[in-house]
Structures are given as C-alpha cells and as structure tokens.
C-alpha cells in the first residue's frame, strides 16, 4: 500500500505578515517557510502507520506544487521520514490548479491513500483535498481526526457537528485531515536530515491549467481599539459594560 501526503509551503505561523506591490504579494523578507501544520501532522500519521509493519505500507511519498525555491520544505519532509517526493514545477496559483496538478501525480503514482490537511495556514481555502477527490472521482472522507488500517481497509473517525462517526471506505481514497490525526508533529532527527539529502525528489512539469480565482489584494485588518482595563477588584464593572456598552450579555 502506498500513501501520498500533499504538502504546502507556508510562512511560519508566528509570522506577522506584510504585503508588497500594491498589497498583491506577501513580503517574504525574513519569512521562515515551514510545512503547513496540518500537512505536517498528516505526514506524521502516515509515518506512524508505516512504522507498524502489519499495515503493509511500502512507501510514504510527499507531493508539492511549487518552484525550486520550496525544495527546503520538501527536504524537511524527507528528513522527518518520507521515502521520496514529487514536486510539480510551477507556482501554486490557486486551489483548483494545485488540485489539478496533484490529481495528475495521484494518477501517475497509483497511491492508495492520499492525505491532505484541512487547509493551508496562508490561503485558508479548505479545498485542495476535496477537489482532488472530485477530479478523480474517488471516495473522500473529510474532517478526519483519526486514521487507522484494519486488514488493509481504512478505519476513520470523522468529526461531525456535535459528535463523530467511525467510517470506512474503499481504496483508493482521499482523506482530508484535521486536529487529532497525530498528537505532535514528528521532528527530524540528525540521521533523518543526513538521509534526506540522498532521497529522490522527482520533478515533474505541470499539466496545462488556468487559475479560476486570483487574489487582487490583501489587507491587514485594522487593529482593534485599545483594550479598556478594569480594576480586578471591580468585576461588576465588566459585567455592567458587557450589558450596557457592548450589549452582548
């Protein structure tokens, strides 16, 4: 069984974002690039599944759509433990075109389980995984908070409003994962970092596609009005303000 983990390259989540060129592009000065947090957790879970030999997983591959400059993020995924990587050599312009490129990778590689994070922390699109399933017409389970294998069949918890369901489906499938899929992201050990250098990264050229959406500009929300401090000895004043000034309780 082969697992494909789709990874996106995002600014470290503590970055205070700024924009350039008429607020059209991220100002990448000083930005630390990392694997999107949910993708890192899905990679961790894929490796945990592979660690258990009885699951019979032959490889965990990471796929990424992006230019050569995102190679360090791919190497990081290899250092964490992915066996190999595929990079589609183009800019990630919008979620549909990224999904289209990744769907090609899935078709070519014949993966059984495709894992995608619920969203990337930059575009918050919540779309790529679902689009891959829609394009390939393969089973999709979204809001996945745990993924196991039971005799070669995926056993999944998915979050529902007000509860969760334990479900199963046939392979190949796409799992869109979220909180709970793995406890902590796996960290690369020195040996992993050394080995990552020699692991194969296959670079493929993109298929023809056009973006369906485009960001025209970004805006940083206006800071909220300064905090109004209330004397800790006078909690009643806060309740009064919430009732009479904010009118929300």
Partner 1 sequence: MSLLVYTENWNGKFKKLSLELVSYASGVGEIMNSDVIALTIGPVEEDELMRLAEYGASRIIVAEHDALKEYDTLTYASVITQLAEKEGSDVIVLANNNQGKGVAPVIAARLAAGLAAGVTGLPVSVDPFRIDKRAYSGNAMARLEIKTAVRILTLAQNSYDLKSNRRDAVIEKYQPVIENSPAIKIEDVQRQEGKLLLTDAEIVVSGGRGMKSPDNWVHIEELASLLGGATACSRPVSDEGWRPHGEHTGQTGKVIAPNLYIAAGISGATQHIAGVSSSKYIVAINSDKDAPIFEVAQYGIVGDALKVLPALVAAVKAAKND
Residue 206 DSSP one-character state: P
201 is a contact residue toward partner 1 (CB under 8 A) = no
What is the C-alpha to C-alpha distance for residues 120 and 187, in angstroms, rounded to an integer?
Answer: 20
Helix axes 128-136, 95-109, angle to 10 degrees: 50
38 is a contact residue toward partner 1 (CB under 8 A) = yes
N-to-C CA span, the chain: 54
Nearer to partner 1, 203 or 212 (CB): 212
147 is a contact residue toward partner 1 (CB under 8 A) = no
Give the other-Cβ count within 10 Å of 31's Cβ.
15
Stretch that binds partner 1, among 49-57, 59-67, 160-168, 200-208 (CB under 8 A): 160-168
Tell which positions 208-247 bind partner 1, by CB under 8 A.
211-221, 223-225, 227-232, 235-236, 238-243, 246
What is the C-alpha to C-alpha distance for residues 9 and 128, in angstroms, rounded to an integer?
Answer: 14
Nearer to partner 1, 54 or 170 (CB): 170
35 is a contact residue toward partner 1 (CB under 8 A) = no
- The tokens describing 240, both together, are 């009064």
Place of tokens 């493929």: 204
Query: Do residues 89 and 102 lie in contact, with contact meaning Cβ atoms separated by under 8 Å?
Result: no
Please state the closest distance from residue 201 (CB atom) to partner 1, in A: 27
194 is a contact residue toward partner 1 (CB under 8 A) = no
Which x/- pattern over 60-99 shows residues binding partner 1 (rule: CB under 8 A)?
Answer: ----------------------------------xxx--x
Please state the closest distance from residue 183 (CB atom) to partner 1, in A: 8
Which residue of 84, 121, 148, 201 would you call a contact of partner 1, by CB under 8 A? Answer: 121
Phi-psi region of 198 (alpha: psi -120 to 50; beta: other; left: phi over 0): alpha
21 is a contact residue toward partner 1 (CB under 8 A) = no
């Amino acid at each position: 069984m082969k697992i494909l983990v789709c990874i996106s390259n995002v600014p470290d989540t503590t970055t205070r974002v700024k924009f350039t060129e008429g607020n059209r592009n991220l100002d990448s000065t000083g930005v630390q690039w990392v694997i999107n947090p949910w993708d890192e957790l899905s990679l961790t879970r894929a490796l945990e599944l592979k660690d258990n030999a009885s699951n019979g997983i032959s490889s965990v591959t990471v796929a990424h759509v992006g230019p050569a400059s995102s190679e360090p993020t791919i190497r990081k995924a290899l250092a964490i433990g992915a066996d190999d990587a595929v990079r589609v050599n183009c800019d990630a312009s919008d979620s549909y075109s990224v999904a289209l490129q990744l769907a090609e990778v899935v078709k070519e590689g014949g993966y059984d389980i495709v894992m995608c994070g619920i969203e990337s922390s930059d575009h918050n699109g919540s779309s790529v995984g679902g689009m891959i399933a829609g394009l390939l017409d393969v089973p999709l389970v979204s809001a996945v908070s745990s993924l196991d294998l039971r005799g070669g069949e995926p056993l999944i918890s998915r979050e529902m409003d007000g509860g969760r369901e334990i479900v199963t489906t046939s392979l190949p499938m796409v799992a869109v994962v979220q909180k709970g899929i793995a406890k902590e992201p796996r960290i690369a050990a020195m040996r992993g970092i050394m080995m990552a250098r020699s692991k194969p990264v296959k670079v493929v050229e993109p298929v023809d596609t056009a973006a369906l959406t485009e960001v025209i500009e970004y805006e940083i929300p206006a800071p909220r009005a300064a905090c109004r401090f209330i004397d800790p000895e006078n909690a009643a004043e806060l309740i009064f303000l919430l009732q009479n000034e904010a009118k929300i309780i």
